[in-house]
Amino acid sequence: MGGKFRTESCDCLVAGGGTTGVIAAIQAGRAGADVILTEMNPLPGGTMTFGKVSSPAYFFAGGRRIVGGIGWELVKETVELSGGKLPDFRVPVPGHTGHAVYVDPNLYPLLAEEKCLRAGVRLRYQEILTALRPLGNGWEAEVTGNGVFRKIRAHEVIDCTGDATAVRLAGGPCVRGEERQPGTLEFQLSGYDCAALDADSLERAFRKALADGELQPGDYCDADRPLIRYLRSRGYNLQHIFPADASDSEKQTGASIAGRQRLLAMLRFLRRQPGLENCVIADAAPLTAVREGWRILGERTVTEDEYLQGVLYEDAIAWSSYFIDVHHETGVRRRHLAPGVFPTIPFGALIPRGMKHILAAGRSISSDRGAFSALRVGASCMAMGQAAGAAAALAVRTGIPSREVPLDSIRELLRAHGAAVPVPGIVTEPEYPEEPV
Ligand SMILES: Cc1cc2nc3c(=O)[nH]c(=O)nc-3n(C[C@H](O)[C@H](O)[C@H](O)COP(=O)(O)OP(=O)(O)OC[C@H]3O[C@@H](n4cnc5c(N)ncnc54)[C@H](O)[C@@H]3O)c2cc1C
With a 6 Å cutoff on the Cβ, whether 361 touches ligand 1 is no
What is the DSSP code (8-state) at residue 139?
E
124-182 pLDDT per residue, tens: 999 999 999 999 999 999 999 999 999 999 999 999 999 999 999 999 999 998 889 99
25-70 pLDDT per residue, tens: 999 999 999 999 999 999 999 999 999 999 999 999 988 899 999 9
In degrees and rounded to multiples of 5, residue 151 shows phi and psi of: -115, 125
With a 6 Å cutoff on the Cβ, whether 53 touches ligand 1 is yes
With a 6 Å cutoff on the Cβ, whether 41 touches ligand 1 is yes
How confident is residue 220, by pLDDT bands cut at 50, 70 and 90?
very high
- Using the predicted structure, report yes or no on whether residue 425 has a pLDDT greater than 80: no
With a 6 Å cutoff on the Cβ, whether 380 touches ligand 1 is no
Arithmetic mean of pLDDT, 87-112: 90
Q: What integer best gives the mean pLDDT of the chain?
A: 94
Per-residue pLDDT, 181: 95
Residue 140 CA to ligand 1 centre (angstroms): 25
CA–CA distance, 391 with 21 (Å, rounded to integer): 14
Per-residue pLDDT, 437: 46
Residue 249, classified by CB atoms within 10 Å of its CB into exposed (0-12), middle (13-18) or buried (19+), is exposed
Per-residue pLDDT, 164: 98
Sequence-distant (6+) residues with CB within 8 A of 266 are: 215, 219, 220, 235, 239
- Using the predicted structure, report yes or no on whether residue 339 has a pLDDT greater than 70: yes
Arithmetic mean of pLDDT, 428-434: 45
Q: Whose CA is nearest to atom 12 of ligand 1?
A: 377
Q: What size, in residues, is the chain?
A: 437
Of the options 3.40.1160.10, 3.50.50.60, 3.40.640.10, 3.90.420.10, the CATH number for the domain spanning 2-179+293-416: 3.50.50.60
Q: Whose CA is nearest to atom 1 of ligand 1?
A: 184
**Reported pTM:** 0.96
Instruction: Measure CA 189 to chain center.
Output: 24
Per-residue pLDDT, 95: 78
Arithmetic mean of pLDDT, 379-383: 98
The angle, 0 to 180 degrees and rounded to 10, between the axes of the packed helices 378-398 and 407-416 is 120
With a 6 Å cutoff on the Cβ, whether 61 touches ligand 1 is no
How confident is residue 428, by pLDDT bands cut at 50, 70 and 90?
very low
Residue 291 CA to ligand 1 centre (angstroms): 8
Per-residue pLDDT, 430: 47
With a 6 Å cutoff on the Cβ, whether 47 touches ligand 1 is yes
Q: Which residues pair with 348 in a beta bridge?
A: none
Q: Whose CA is nearest to atom 9 of ligand 1?
A: 56
Arithmetic mean of pLDDT, 280-284: 98
Residue 434 CA to ligand 1 centre (angstroms): 28
Of residues 97 and 295, the one with the higher pLDDT is 295
Per-residue pLDDT, 25: 99
Per-residue pLDDT, 424: 73
Task: Give the nearest ligand 1 atom to 322 CA.
Answer: 11
Other beta carbons within 10 Å of 21 = 31
75-98 pLDDT per residue, tens: 999 999 999 999 988 888 887 888
Amino acid at 221: C
Residue 376 CA to ligand 1 centre (angstroms): 8
Per-residue pLDDT, 434: 46
Portions of the chain given CATH number 3.50.50.60:
2-179+293-416
